[in-house]
Structures are given as C-alpha cells and as structure tokens.
Amino acid sequence: MDCKVLPSQVTVIEVGLRDGLQIIDQKVTTEDKLRLLMSLIETGLSDLEVTSFVHPKGVPQLSDAEELLLAAPRDTGVNYWALVPNEKGVERAVKCQLNGISVALSVSESHNLANMRMSTEESIARIPRMVSLAWEAGLNVRAGIGTSFGCPFEGNVPPDRVIEIISRFVDLGVDNILLADTTGMADPIKVTKLLQKVRFAFPEITLAVHFHNTRGAGMANVLAALLSGITIFDSSIGGLGGCPFAPNAAGNVCTEDMVNMFHQMGINTGINIDKLITSAHLAQEILGFELPGQVMKAGPTDQLHPLPHREVPG
Ligand code: COA
Ligand code: ZN
C-alpha cells in the first residue's frame, strides 16, 4: 500500500437517522430521534443526513421529517441533509431549514422502479426542476447515485452508464456526486476501477462514496476508495441501515468502526471516537436490539486494559 497517497483529513457524513432508520420495523419516536441527533452533534460530526422527504406510506419510519427538522437544534455548526426523490420532496424540504438535499436515483432500471416507482430516465427528467427549486431556496445539492457498483436484480451495472448519469448532473452544475453501493455488491477492485474512471472523466467534481456492509466488504471498499483519492464517506452509527426496497438489504459501513480505523491510520476526522461510541450505545438502547458495529463492543484500539491479575500457585 502506498501510504503517501493517503489524505491527512476526511469528512464523514453520518446517515444513520436516514438510511439507518428507514429499514427499521418498529416505530422510533421523534423524541428518540432527537436524542440521537443531539448525541451525534456532540461527537464533532460536521454533516448529518437526518431524514428523507419520501412517500410517508413507502417509508413510514421517516414520515415525521418536518417535525424532526423543526425541532432540531440550530446554530450548532452541523450541516443537516435529507434525501429527496422528486419535486414534491424538494417542496417539503425547502420549508425545513436544511443545508442540503441528496437527490436520489439508481443507475439500474429495476432498482429505480422498485425504489422510486419510475424508470431511471423518468427520475433524471425530474432533476433540473428539483435542482432549481433547491438552489432558489439556498440549499446545497448532492446527487446520490444508487446501485453504482451493482444491482440486486440485474447484477453488473455498466460503468459507462454511471458516467453518463454523472454527466447529466454535471451539465446542470451539480458537481457534488455520491456513488452508492446500495446493496453491498462492490469489491475493492470494482471500487478502484470505477473511481479511476469517474475521476478521469470528471477531475473537478466533489466525489463521495456510500458503502453497505451487506457482504462484509464495507471497510475494504472504504480503503480502496481512500487509496483512490476519496475524502468524503457516508456511514451509519452502529452499522445500521439498508434500502427497504432491495432484497436482503443490510447496514451501512459503521461510523465508529470507520472513524476508529481512520484515526489508527493517522487520518483526522474531527470526531471524538468515545462520544461516537456513546451515540452507538444510545442508538442500540433506543432500538432495543444488538447493532452490528464492532468498536462499540471492543472499544477503540487505543483503549488499553489492565493486565489480568494472576494468582501464583502455592
Ligand atoms: N413526499 C410526500 N408525498 C409524496 C411525495 C413525497 N416526496 N411524492 C409523491 N407524494 C404523494 C403525491 O402527492 C401523491 O399524493 P395524492 O395521491 O394525495 O395526490 C401520491 O404521493 C402519489 O404521487 P406519485 O408521484 O404518483 O408518487 P408514487 O406513489 O409513484 O411514489 C415516490 C414515488 C418516489 C414518492 C416513492 O416511490 C418514494 O417515496 N420512494 C422513496 C423510497 C425510499 O425512500 N427508498 C430508500 C432510500 S433510497
Ligand atoms: Zn444506503
């Protein structure tokens, strides 16, 4: 590994309140979401994707988007983001004092149909109007491109199609692009090849990645992205997450595991790992089941233990 290419600083975008909760069966109250939000703000995270403005019947867990955002603390220095699928979502978002929206669509037709109930081209056709509505209201826009590394229904996704979709956003002036591995189909070689191709085609864009750990390759993919020059990573507290409209969906890369690894590698995140672990335990307490995160169980790498006392026989 060529350590000289590693960045000294990265940005982590915490998506647990959105991607993390959208797949949970039980009801999480707005009050509990606010408790988790406050705890995440304490950690030093700079960016939180806190909800979605999607159909409330499709994702009932996030149907309190307005309520949550209107109650969320302000002037904390944290940027609030939300996912939106269409114009109606943007109209709702602009009333909620957000910093930015993630405009979501999938490269794969089948996943876009299952997730958004429209073809990828229909989603793309809506984007100019969505982007102008958001910009008029002073919101930042990032383009979240799902199934960029593979589709659970179609298998491989052609990298040229990913490039074509990015170009549609870039033509509009949206240069903040997020490549999402919605159902954990990426591997480090696929990640390296796609990122090299995208970087070559669009050297000026801000590029971020969003990996799911569905098949255990999440952190390997994070490392591959780091070595490819990526410095912006989505992740979820405790490793929560998953798309409710994809079979066998599983959690995002776990925030505290990823941050612990970055810190051990000498990469600064501006995030307090102990506070992050406290947030992961709070998420676990609120949800009432064991979360997949590892560092919340083992402790951060630099937390040492006293030598066990051994009785001397005789
Ligand atoms: N928020 C709230 N209501 C919405 C909405 C939104 N963003 N978009 C559409 N609606 C409402 C419409 O107003 C309409 O209401 P009406 O029947 O009272 O007139 C109704 O939903 C149907 O509108 P339509 O445009 O036909 O939407 P749809 O039923 O085809 O659903 C999406 C399209 C995109 C809104 C829906 O598939 C969705 O929310 N998908 C997101 C899934 C998701 O979050 N996946 C995980 C993250 S990637
Ligand atoms: Zn996701």
Tell me the pLDDT tens digit for each residue of 69-89.
999 999 999 999 999 999 999
Average pLDDT over residues 203-212: 98
pLDDT at 84: 98
Task: Find the 54 Cα to ligand 1 centroid distance in Å.
Answer: 6
Asked whether residue 10 carries a pLDDT value surpassing 90, the answer given is yes
Give the pocket of ligand 1 (CB within 6 Å): 22, 52-56, 58-59, 83, 85-86, 88-89, 92, 104, 115-117, 146, 243, 245
Is the sign of the CA dihedral 130, 204, 163, 228 positive or negative? negative
CA of 147 relative to ligand 2 center, distance in Å? 9
Nearest CA to ligand 1 atom 22: 55
Q: Which ligand minimizes its atom distance to the CA of 15? A: 2
How far does the centroid of ligand 1 lie from the alpha carbon of residue 55, in Å? Answer: 4
**Cα(103)–Cα(115) distance, integer angstroms:** 13
> So what CATH class is 8-298?
alpha beta
Confidence tier at 1 by pLDDT (50, 70, 90): confident
DSSP single-letter state for residue 62: G
Amino acid identity for residue 281 in this structure: H
Residue to substitute in 19, 54, 116 for testing ligand 1 pocket (most ligand atoms within 8 angstroms of CB) = 54
The alpha carbon of 81 and the centre of ligand 2 are apart by a number of angstroms equal to: 14
DSSP-derived secondary structure letter, 238: G
- Identify whether 243 is a catalytic site residue: yes
Q: 273-287 and 30-42 helices cross at what angle (nearest 10)?
A: 170
Global pTM reads 0.97
CA dist 114 and 275 (Å) reads 37
pLDDT tens digits, one per residue of 243-256: 999 998 899 999 99
128 Cβ contact partners less than 8 Å away, ≥ 6 residues apart: 172
Find the ligand nearest to 104 CA. Answer: 1
**β partners of residue 141:** 101
Closest CA to 226 of 255, 202, 271, 258: 258
Structure tokens at 158: 């052609």
Query: What pLDDT is stored for residue 206 in this prediction?
Result: 98
Residues 116-175: pLDDT tens digits?
999 999 999 999 999 999 999 999 999 999 999 999 999 999 999 999 999 999 999 999
Please, which pLDDT band fits residue 4 given cuts at 50, 70 and 90? confident
Please say if the pLDDT value at position 313 is more than 80.
no
The pLDDT, as a whole number, for residue 189 is: 98
Residue 29 scores a pLDDT above 80: yes
Is 144 in contact with 102 (CB distance < 8 Å)?
yes
Catalytic option among 96, 151, 243, 254: 243
Could you write out the DSSP letters of every residue in 3-23?
Answer: GGGS-SB-EEEE-IIIIIHHT
The letter for the amino acid at 274 is: D
Name every residue whose Cβ is closer than 8 Å to that of residue 103 and which is 6 or more positions away in sequence. Answer: 84, 127, 130, 131, 134, 141, 142, 143, 144, 174
Q: Supply the residue whose CA is at minimum distance from atom 13 of ligand 1.
A: 88
Smallest-distance ligand from the CA of 88:
1
Report the phi/psi class of residue 76: left, alpha or beta, with left for phi > 0 and alpha for psi in -120 to 50.
alpha
